[in-house]
Structure 1
Amino acid sequence: MTARARLRVVGVSAALAVAAIVIALVSISGGDYPMSLPDVVRTLFGGGSPADAFIVRELRLPRVVTALAVGGALALAGALFQSLVRNPLGSPDVLGFTQGSATGGLLAVVVLGGGSTAVAAGSVLSAIATGAAIYLLAWRGGGHGHRLILVGIGVAGILTGVNSYLLTRANIVDAARAVLWLTGSLDGRGWGQAAVAGGALVLLTPVVAVLGRALANLELGDDPARGLGVNVGAVRLTALACAVLLAAAASAAAGPVLFVALTAPQLARRLTGATGPNLLPSLLLGAALLTGADVLAQRLFPGHQLPVGVVTGLLGGGYLVLLLARTARRARV
């Protein structure tokens, strides 16, 4: 990468970090008790009235931190998946990991009748099991990105049917809880959920950063990467494990929020114009996207909050249709 390209990546990353912070402050300022941005900043740094401190630090800040962490974790997972499969459709939503996470959460609700802790644990464990199964099926005896996509789509179809069946077996109260969780929501999220997603980011981001150069080489193909000294099997397995854990932690914190992992890495790559996985810009853009989507979810219809997954589904679904249309148009040229 040239010096000018590196400078552009640094500039885009800085701009995205500022955008994420500004959107987070706007999110905190809104609600039934509106506050000005200076008041929000003053309260965050220890000032403000006791009422302001309670509303900002106890009610709104945990939700915003959860949104930032979940968005960053999903986008980073998406960047890893897309780099591994060398395909813009590589994301937890398409490859079956989101559906696997949902299966674990549904089992915790429908079969065990568990609360939020059981749902989070079931989501993480099921996502890990799904990731292991897809890896073994896709890379048995060697494989490539297209095989992973095909296996993931097949597994996603199977798990979607299982999830639908589980919903039919639930009583009306559990079914309502499950559907809300499946949609993806940040409503009522506290410091516990923020710690799950944020902890995964803190622990796994350094590991992912170390893999950055190897992943960029791996996008050239297995043989060229080996020629450059990359241990292809170890890098691929480590990257996949990190991506699965990040997606699982995000689902445990906010439910299976769709399309952030798909869109953020692609938009980040377009902003930077750089080759490679664009890990840091993707993370920051995902954090800004999900926090912005939550602002829209809270304020689009006054008096009625939407689950954030509805907003990301509408925006991400539109982006997916555009991406597929552009791909088809290139194929005809």
Structure 2
Amino acid sequence: MTDNKINIVKAGYRSRRLRWIGVTLFLGIVTLALCITLLLIGNTSYPFKIVVSVLMGEQIQGASFAIGTIRLPRMLSGLMAGIAFGMAGSTFQTILRNPLASPDIIGITAGSNVGAIFCILVLQMSGTFVSMVAVVSGLLVAILIYVLSKVGSFSGGKLILVGIGIQAMLNAVVSYLLLKASQHDIPSAYRWLSGSLNGIQMKSIPSLFVILMIGGIIIAFLGRHLRILELGEQSAISLGVRADITRLLLVLSAVFLIAFATSVTGPIAFVAFLSGPIAMKLVGTGAPHELPAGLIGGILVLGADLIGQFAFNTRFPVGVITGILGSPYLLILLIRMNRTGG
């Protein structure tokens, strides 16, 4: 009887593992297909052979500029920002055991917004300086939310409520800055707030890549411990997991991913919020879903950029499309949680 139960457990583990591998490979193929598509098509479409030649360093009149200077940075930033948003959002939702615990819901993204908009409208700055301030302000707001939620007794629900309150306050600050700004500066601010891949240059890619590699590796490496933390802190400690250190590393990694991704692309709405639940549905419960969530984040951003560029007569920023996709899910989730007392 015992051997039979062990065999059942092993069979279940193999099934979940194969499902995870299959889903991850499928998501990887879809992501690669979107990347190639975004390099191929535009105002002028180029054959695959030309794209490969440009990527290999060959200079081709017209194509080198369109692909190497415009499309490649746009595609890479969208891909890496999407992966960062997806992994960070999934990490927060898992640690706090609440689908509302997404960085763009609990105020961390709003922190980066305030710093960037202040630089654009008040300091009349642009480029790298805006990105640096966005990163710092996002980190400071994350620390503030954590400190305020620690007053009294800490809980995930308390952190979410504090974050929502901080986000409302920061959004009010952004509205005030926009109201007082000159008409000449407002378009740049709105372009940032809408979450856009327009005008991104290759010089923004290396720093985002480094942070994505460091933060992503830490989250993926600690994914097994994250599954154990879902059982509760006492259970995790009894199983040998150093809960405080593990949670701190995961939260810091997720915050850095969100802050740096937002500093490059602006706040692309609902990608962090949607990626985790979709990944969990695809890979099933009990399986690590941080990497699939990252790939789904990349797919959402790249797919939304493709739709925003070519599906309508007017071109829309990627954040507008993801906002349209995410808003109904947020409403449905809130209604469902209200009915179940969540």
TM over 0.5: yes
Flag structure 2 segments of 5+ consecutive residues without an equivalent. Answer: 1-11
Paired AA for residue 283 in structure 1: G
Q: Pick from 120, 124, 129 the counterpart of residue 118 of structure 1.
A: 129
Given that 2:94 and 2:230 are in contact with CA atoms closer than 8 Å, whether structure 1 keeps it comes out as: yes
Distance in 1 (CA, whole Å) between partners of 2:332 and 2:51 is 38
Distance in 2 (CA, whole Å) between partners of 1:30 and 1:299 is 9
Q: Pick from 268, 274, 283 the counterpart of residue 263 of structure 1.
A: 274
2:94 is equivalent to residue 83 of structure 1:
yes
Q: Pick from 14, 23, 30 the counterpart of residue 25 of structure 2.
A: 14
1:281-320 mapped onto 2 (5 Å cutoff) = 281-302=292-313, 304-320=314-330
Paired AA for residue 25 in structure 2: A
Given that 1:26 and 1:37 are in contact with CA atoms closer than 8 Å, whether structure 2 keeps it comes out as: no
Flag the 1:277–1:320 CA change in 2: closer, same or farther, 3 A.
Answer: farther
Q: Pick from 299, 319, 322 the counterpart of residue 332 of structure 2.
A: 322
Larger radius of gyration: 2
Paired AA for residue 227 in structure 1: S
Residue deviations 1:162-221 (CA, integer Å, cap 9, x gap): 111111221112222111101110011111222232221112112112221111111111
Distance in 2 (CA, whole Å) between partners of 1:297 and 1:198 is 24
Distance in 2 (CA, whole Å) between partners of 1:138 and 1:277 is 27
Given that 1:68 and 1:287 are in contact with CA atoms closer than 8 Å, whether structure 2 keeps it comes out as: yes
* CA shift for structure 1 position 83: 1.1
Residue deviations 1:97-145 (CA, integer Å, cap 9, x gap): 0111101101111221111212111110100000111111113465121
How many aligned residue pairs are there? 331
1:278 maps to 289
TM-score, length-scaled by structure 2: 0.91
Distance in 1 (CA, whole Å) between partners of 2:181 and 2:287 is 44
Distance in 2 (CA, whole Å) between partners of 1:167 and 1:31 is 33
Flag structure 1 segments of 5+ consecutive residues without an equivalent. Answer: none
2:115 is equivalent to residue 104 of structure 1:
yes
Q: Pick from 198, 204, 223 the counterpart of residue 215 of structure 2.
A: 204
1:58 maps to 69
2:246 is equivalent to residue 235 of structure 1:
yes
Flag the 1:329–1:36 CA change in 2: closer, same or farther, 3 A.
Answer: farther
2:170 is equivalent to residue 170 of structure 1:
no
Given that 2:16 and 2:287 are in contact with CA atoms closer than 8 Å, whether structure 1 keeps it comes out as: no
TM-score, length-scaled by structure 1: 0.93
Alignment RMSD (CA, Å): 1.9
SS of aligned partner of 2:197: coil
Residue deviations 1:7-30 (CA, integer Å, cap 9, x gap): 111111111111011011111112
Paired AA for residue 149 in structure 1: I
Paired AA for residue 228 in structure 1: L
Deviation larger for 67-76 or 35-44: 35-44
Distance in 1 (CA, whole Å) between partners of 2:198 and 2:222 is 34
Residue deviations 1:37-95 (CA, integer Å, cap 9, x gap): 45434543456844333322222111000000010011111011101110111111111
Distance in 1 (CA, whole Å) between partners of 2:245 and 2:324 is 37
Paired AA for residue 98 in structure 1: T
SS of aligned partner of 2:117: helix
Distance in 2 (CA, whole Å) between partners of 1:92 and 1:142 is 21
Q: Pick from 16, 19, 25 the counterpart of residue 36 of structure 2.
A: 25
| Ranges of 4+ aligned residues in structure 1 off by more than 6 Å | none
2:192 is equivalent to residue 187 of structure 1:
no
Deviation larger for 58-67 or 209-218: 209-218
